[in-house]
Amino acid sequence: MDKDVVSAKLFLIIPLFMPLILASAELLDIFCPNDSGSYTLYSPFENNLKQLLESLPSNTSVTGFYHTSIGDNPYTVYGQALCRGDVNSTVCQTCIWNASQEILTQCKSEDAMIWFELCQVRYSYQMFISLMDYTVKYLNNLGQNSSDPVLAVHYNEVLAYLFNNISTEASNDPSKRMFVTGEIKLSTETIYGLVQCTRDIPEDDCNSCLLSALRDFETCCFSLRGGTLLSRNCNMRFEAYQFYSASSLILTYPSSEGYYSLKRRNRMVVVITCVPLLVLAVLGGSCAVYHRRKKRTQPGLLCVQEDPADRPTMTSVAVLLGNESVPLPEPKHPALAISRLIQIDQLSAANPSVNELTLSNVSPR
Ligand SMILES: *[C@@H]1O[C@H](CO)[C@@H](O)[C@H](O)[C@H]1NC(C)=O
Ligand SMILES: *[C@@H]1O[C@H](CO)[C@@H](O)[C@H](O)[C@H]1NC(C)=O
Ligand SMILES: *[C@@H]1O[C@H](CO)[C@@H](O)[C@H](O)[C@H]1NC(C)=O
Ligand SMILES: *[C@@H]1O[C@H](CO)[C@@H](O)[C@H](O)[C@H]1NC(C)=O
Ligand SMILES: *[C@@H]1O[C@H](CO)[C@@H](O)[C@H](O)[C@H]1NC(C)=O
Ligand SMILES: *[C@@H]1O[C@H](CO)[C@@H](O)[C@H](O)[C@H]1NC(C)=O
C-alpha cells in the first residue's frame, strides 16, 4: 500500500482514539439511568446531593470507605464512596473529589454510580447501604493489549485458582478489609489480580458477590490478557503487569490439578459428541475390538471438527469403527479451541471495551 495513504490514515485514526485512551486512565464507567427520573434543579434533593458529595472526599480519605445520608424524608440522599485499597489518603481524596464532580455534572438522575480506576462513588434516593446488589459491567481492555486472546494451556484454570484464593481471603480475613491482591506465575509471565468489596456489606455477601463475579469474569475475560469487572459492591481485575502498589499474595498453581481437569474435559467432549455415533455403529452390528490407541481416538477427534464438512458421516464412522484397514483422514484441530476464539470475536465486535450484562431497574418515586 502507498506509504502516504497509510500515514494519512494513521493521522485520522490517532486523534479519534486519543480521548478514549486518556479517559480510560481515570473514568471507567458511569451508571446514570434516564428512566429513574431526574431530580429537579434547585430542589431540596439537589441541595442535599451537593452537600453529600462535598462531604465525601475528606471523610472517605480517612479509611478509604465512607457512607452517609443527608436530608429529611422525602428528600434524603444516601451516598457511599470507596477508594481502591492500595491508594493513600491524598490520592483517595482527589479521586473521590474528581468522581463527585463528574457524577454531579454528568448525571441528573436520582440514583447514580461512577467508577474511576482508583475509586467509586454512588448515591441514591433509596436506602442501599448494607444491601448487596450484584450489577455488573466488564471492561476488557484497560491495558492496551489486554484484549488479545491467550491460548496458553491452563491459562483460565490458573486465573480461576488465583481468584478463588484471593476472593476467599478478602471475605474471610477481617484484617484485609475486603481488599486483596495476588500474583501467580504462568510459564513465561506473571498474572496480577485484585478483588475488593465495599465494606458496608457483611463478609458472607462479599463472598457471594465475588463468587458471582468470578463466574461472569471467567466467561467474559479469562481467555484474555487482562480484564476488569465492575459492580456496585465488588470489583475484580487482572493484568499481565503489576497495576497496584499493594504487597500481594504470591501463589503457586498446583500443576497436577490442572492437568487432570483438562484431560477430563477433553474426554467429555468426545464422549458427548460421539456416543450416539458409537451406539449406531454397535447397533449396526459392526462391533469390534480395538488394539491400537490411535484407531480409537481418531474417529472421536474427527467427530468434533469445527467444520461439518470435516466431520465423518454416520455411516463412515460405522465403517471406520468396524474396519481396521480403512485409512483414516488426519483430524484437524478439534473444535474446542476454535469456538473459544469465535466467542471472543463476538464479544469484542458487539462493543470493543464495555460489555454490559445486567442493569437493575430503579423505579421512580
Ligand atoms: C439520557 O438522556 C440524555 C438526554 O435526553 C441523552 O443524551 C442520553 O444519551 C441518555 N442516556 C442513556 C443512557 O439513554
Ligand atoms: C465529613 O466531612 C464534613 C466536611 O466536609 C465534616 O463537617 C464532617 O464532620 C465529616 N464527618 C465525619 C463523620 O467525619
Ligand atoms: C500518595 O501516593 C502518591 C502516588 O502513589 C504519591 O505521589 C504521594 O507522594 C503519596 N502521598 C503521601 C502523603 O504518601
Ligand atoms: C483528578 O482530575 C485531575 C484533572 O482531570 C487529574 O489530573 C487527576 O489525575 C485526577 N486524579 C485522580 C486521583 O483521579
Ligand atoms: C502487550 O503485550 C506484550 C507481549 O505480550 C507485553 O510485552 C507488553 O507489556 C504488553 N503491554 C501492555 C500494556 O500490557
Ligand atoms: C491462598 O494462597 C496462600 C499462599 O499460597 C495461602 O497461604 C492461603 O491459605 C490461600 N488461601 C486460600 C483461601 O486458599
Same domain membership, residue 218 and residue 141: yes
Q: Is the CB of 115 under 6 A from ligand 4?
A: no
Same domain membership, residue 111 and residue 68: yes
CA distance 132 to 135: 9
Domain of residue 294 covers: 272-332
Residues 142/241, Cβ–Cβ less than 8 Å: no
Same domain membership, residue 118 and residue 67: yes
- Going from the Cα of 136 to the center of ligand 4, the distance in angstroms, rounded, reads 25
Instruction: Calculate mean pLDDT across residues 238-257.
Output: 87
Pick from 124, 153, 180: which residue ends a domain? 124
| 288 within domain boundaries | yes
Nearest to 142 by CA among 16, 13, 20, 19: 20
Max CA separation in the chain (angstroms): 87
Same domain membership, residue 300 and residue 237: no
* pLDDT at residue 79, as a whole number: 97
Same domain membership, residue 286 and residue 178: no
Same domain membership, residue 249 and residue 148: yes
Same domain membership, residue 166 and residue 72: no
Residues 255/161, Cβ–Cβ less than 8 Å: no
Residues 160/248, Cβ–Cβ less than 8 Å: no
- pLDDT tens string 251-309: 999 875 544 444 444 444 444 444 444 444 444 443 333 334 444 444 444 434 444 44
Nearest to 282 by CA among 241, 243, 317, 231: 317
Q: Is the CB of 98 under 6 A from ligand 4?
A: yes
Residue minimizing CA distance to atom 3 of ligand 4: 98
| 260 within domain boundaries | no
CA 61 to chain centre: 28
Cis peptide before 74 (omega within 30 of 0): yes
| 69 within domain boundaries | yes
**Beta bridge partner(s), residue 109:** 38
Same domain membership, residue 197 and residue 91: no
Tell me the ligand closest to 37's alpha carbon.
Answer: 1
| 265 within domain boundaries | no
For the chain, give percent helix, strand, coil, nearest 5. Answer: 45, 20, 35
Q: Is the CB of 92 under 6 A from ligand 4?
A: no
State yes or no: pLDDT of 327 exceeds 60: no
The CATH number assigned to the domain holding 186 equals 3.30.430.20
| 13 within domain boundaries | no
Domain count, the chain: 3
Q: Is the CB of 55 under 6 A from ligand 2?
A: yes
Mutating to test ligand 3, I would choose from 62, 83, 90, 245 the residue with most ligand atoms within 8 A of its C-beta, which is 90
Same domain membership, residue 165 and residue 116: no
- Going from the Cα of 104 to the center of ligand 5, the distance in angstroms, rounded, reads 36
Backbone angles phi, psi at 117, to 5 degrees: -65, -35
Q: Is the CB of 140 under 6 A from ligand 4?
A: no
- Locate 21 and state its grid cell: 485512551
The pLDDT confidence band at residue 138, using thresholds 50, 70 and 90, is confident
| 261 within domain boundaries | no
Mutating to test ligand 2, I would choose from 55, 63, 92 the residue with most ligand atoms within 8 A of its C-beta, which is 55
Q: Which atom of ligand 5 is nearest to the CA of 144?
A: 13
| 266 within domain boundaries | no
Say if strands 234-239 and 190-197 run parallel, antiparallel, or are unpaired: antiparallel
Same domain membership, residue 162 and residue 206: yes
| 362 within domain boundaries | no
User: What Cα–Cα distance (Å) separates residue 261 from each residue in 140, 154, 265, 266?
Assistant: 26, 9, 6, 9
Same domain membership, residue 69 and residue 23: yes
- Going from the Cα of 93 to the center of ligand 1, the distance in angstroms, rounded, reads 29
Residues 111/33, Cβ–Cβ less than 8 Å: yes
- Locate 102 and state its grid cell: 463528574
- pLDDT tens string 172-200: 999 999 999 999 998 788 999 999 999 99
Q: Is the CB of 249 under 6 A from ligand 6?
A: yes
Same domain membership, residue 94 and residue 162: no
CA distance 341 to 345: 6
Q: Is the CB of 58 under 6 A from ligand 2?
A: yes
- pLDDT tens string 68-87: 999 998 999 999 999 999 99
